[in-house]
Structure 1
């Protein structure tokens, strides 16, 4: 799994969009195609089997009634020495924007996304987050999550640590548009939520 520092986009945001638009993902391959390639190379074959684990035995289907390959389960706000604050992403996600995370100004935090991959390998997962305040965009970040094989177990990605803004002018409510997508521009889940910057956790 690979991860990159978030891209904070200001007035030069168009340059980032241009770079992304020029990127051409590699051709998507099924598990069978990946396993069939390089069969004569014993060490490479064993490596792929170890990497894919149970996937070598056939398609892994965790929720057969759900045709999606990526099932995003929850988003958590992770702060050292505090319990994770969790947003459940399996229910009515239209209600999520009514629930607000409280973040203490200046604190270092991470965002963790828990998900299940089923059926086939997913290439180039990407987490995109756009933040606005009073309808005005204030931040955008893109995290390259990586490529994942199907597994019965939950998998997760945690963003690099970031410091919440601080100061009286930074305090207040923010709205967030989140998107979990991939190299093929499949939208695995798109949701809205909000957080509030406060002087302290209980203010």
Structure 2
């Protein structure tokens, strides 16, 4: 996750307290000036969060116009006399399961599993399905630890275009991260798909520890949401003695 905003704010706050403890003397005018500058920096930071929130809202409102939906069988029947086009479609669809397609137009995506991978640690398996608003912390991560997200999903009925994963994180009602991962376009098949995100690192330090709230969504280019989870998680100094299963 991109935690740079919170790290910067924590660094400024830590520096302020260190100067107070060291007993550094400042003139009243200089001290007031520093406070005003710090307030300005905080205002700029908050504006950045607001702009990011607006960007997210704009992205949510922009749905690609992909034209009318056509069933997978109809797509294969079109231009079937064109050999090159037929081969291209077969290559695109790969191992598509036509037996479970029928004439349904809407693709169906089911998120089958979610897990967190961290080198040297047992995988943290997050149960699916989950309550709409799980009570308590869903999982705990160690500060400064590297991790990846892994999820498997199935696709049926039709091709899903532009499947994406978005995750938004808040701490004390302030948004500290918003990440989006484009998974791609997938055709129906019997075997589930598996996707592993690039490696990321949790923030570290006393100001990074604590509880966070988050929202995870899986959507496609049509704006259809296949899974939305609201949950909380913790970042602690050490890993928990027993990982949740």
Which TM bucket (shorter chain)?
0.7 to 0.9
Whether 2:83 is the aligned partner of 1:42: answer yes
Match of 1:31 in 2: 72
Q: CA deviation at 1:128?
A: 1.4
Structure 1: where are the runs of 5+ without partners? Answer: 62-66
Q: CA deviation at 1:114?
A: 1.5
Match of 1:64 in 2: none
Whether 2:243 is the aligned partner of 1:202: answer no
Q: CA deviation at 1:53?
A: 3.8
Q: 1:149 aligns with which of 175, 183, 187?
A: 187
Structure 2: where are the runs of 5+ without partners? Answer: 5-47
Bigger helix fraction: 2
Distance 1:73 1:56 in 2: 18
- Greater Rg by CA: 2
Work out the number of aligned pairs and report it. 192
Q: CA deviation at 1:127?
A: 1.1
Q: 1:122 aligns with which of 150, 156, 160?
A: 160
Q: CA deviation at 1:147?
A: 1.2
Q: TM-score, normalized by length of structure 2?
A: 0.67
Asked if the contact 1:60–1:152 (Cα under 8 Å) also holds between the matched residues in 2, the reply is: no
Distance 1:173 1:185 in 2: 30
CA gap 1:152/1:107 in 2 versus in 1, 3 angstroms: same
Instruction: Give the structure, 1 or 2, with the largest relative contact order (CA under 8 Å, sep 6 or more).
Output: 1
Distance 1:12 1:132 in 2: 15
Q: CA deviation at 1:99?
A: 4.2
More displaced 10-residue stretch of structure 1: 29-38 or 114-123: 29-38
For 1:117-196, list aligned pairs within 5 A. 117-196=155-234
Whether 2:136 is the aligned partner of 1:98: answer yes
Distance 2:133 2:55 in 1: 34
Asked if the contact 1:77–1:86 (Cα under 8 Å) also holds between the matched residues in 2, the reply is: yes
Distance 2:79 2:107 in 1: 29
